[in-house]
Amino acid sequence: MKIEIREIFEALRKQGWQEVPLSEEARRIGLTLTCVSPFAALGLALVNSTGEINSRWAECQEEMLRLRNLEAVGKTKDLYLAFVAQKGDAAAEAQLQSVLGDTHVCRKLYIVANGQTIEELIQSIPCFQASTQIAGASGGRIIPLLESLNLSGDLKRDLATRSPLKILEKVLAGKYRQQEKRK
């Protein structure tokens, strides 16, 4: 199955994601889609090889940083940069660890389609798993567990959708404690 960016966007749109128009610079460096949800923003690049990722990730990351200036993204949403390949190369994937492990600006993801449907492909991306769970899709065990805990609504939502770093930042800033005091 050939990956079609419009099919990916349609599947995302059904989950509440909105497309952010690509800048000319984003197109030039190879981003094929940027979209946003209430808790995250995603830049997606279709690649043919791990070599493409190694040569393009830094520029793509800079473009993700520029998304922060858009009102739809802002300063608080988690940023994801996903490189999607039709086929994987296990030997070359080891070379990507330094790129994928670098969480400066955004999380970098390498996703191999390997014949998956668009829906299966999307479910392999962490930020989409969270949005599906929040929307009430079955199979997500985190939501029932969170509902059983005596936590503020904001903390429950963040635990289900945010990165650990964002939650830690809010904890250290006392945001959840302040919310509990106001209630």
pLDDT band for position 49 (50/70/90)? Answer: confident
42 or 130, which is more confident:
42
Q: What is the pLDDT of residue 36?
A: 92
* Mean pLDDT rounded to a whole number for the chain: 77
**Lookup result for tokens 């390997």:** 114
* Residues 52-111: tens digit of each pLDDT: 888 899 999 999 999 999 998 988 888 999 998 877 777 777 778 888 888 888 989 888
The C-alpha atoms of residue 131 and residue 128 are separated, in whole angstroms, by 5
3-state secondary structure of 76: coil
**Lookup result for tokens 């798993």:** 129
Enter the DSSP assignment of 15. Answer: T
* Residues 153-170: tens digit of each pLDDT: 677 677 766 666 677 778
Torsion sign (Cα): 127, 128, 130, 134: positive
